[in-house]
Amino acid sequence: MQSVQPKHDVFHAIADQHRRKILMLLANDERSITSITDEFSISRTAVNKHLTILYESNLVTKKTSGRETRYKTHAQELKKVSDWLQYFDVYWDNKLENLKNYVNDN
């Protein structure tokens, strides 16, 4: 069976401040679009567009019950971001070590 490619890249999805806030809101519990929209000064349509991008990036899951759709963060996909950032840990470790040596020598 072939896996389905996400329509949006995880890095594109988290590039927007609204989508990052939505991910944080959904990290601990499921929420409806109404509950999410109440946290923003943007329209419900705009929130829905952000949720669509997050869903198409596999960053949120959705569950429909009757007329209500509830969303929750699917954090496993964020591992890609973590892995990418870990690549730069060596860079920062070297910079901090150089700073420590500089401070100790002066």
Structural domains of the chain, ranges and CATH numbers in brackets: 10-75 (1.10.10.10)
Q: By mean pLDDT, which of 26-35, 78-87, 94-103 is the weakest?
A: 94-103
SS3 assignment, position 80: helix
pLDDT band at residue 88 using 50, 70 and 90 as cut-offs: confident
Buried b or exposed e, range 12-45, using 16+ CB within 10 angstroms: ebbeeebbeebbebbeeeebebeebbeeeeeeee
Nearest 5°: CA angle at 93, between 88 and 96? 130
pLDDT in tens, 4-21: 566 778 999 999 999 999
pLDDT for 93 equals 76
How far is the C-alpha of 36 from the C-alpha of 70, rounded, in Å? 10
pLDDT for 2 equals 44
pLDDT for 1 equals 46
pLDDT for 100 equals 83
pLDDT for 99 equals 83
How far is the C-alpha of 50 from the C-alpha of 20, rounded, in Å? 10
- The answer to whether the CB of 36 falls within 8 A of the CB of 47 is yes
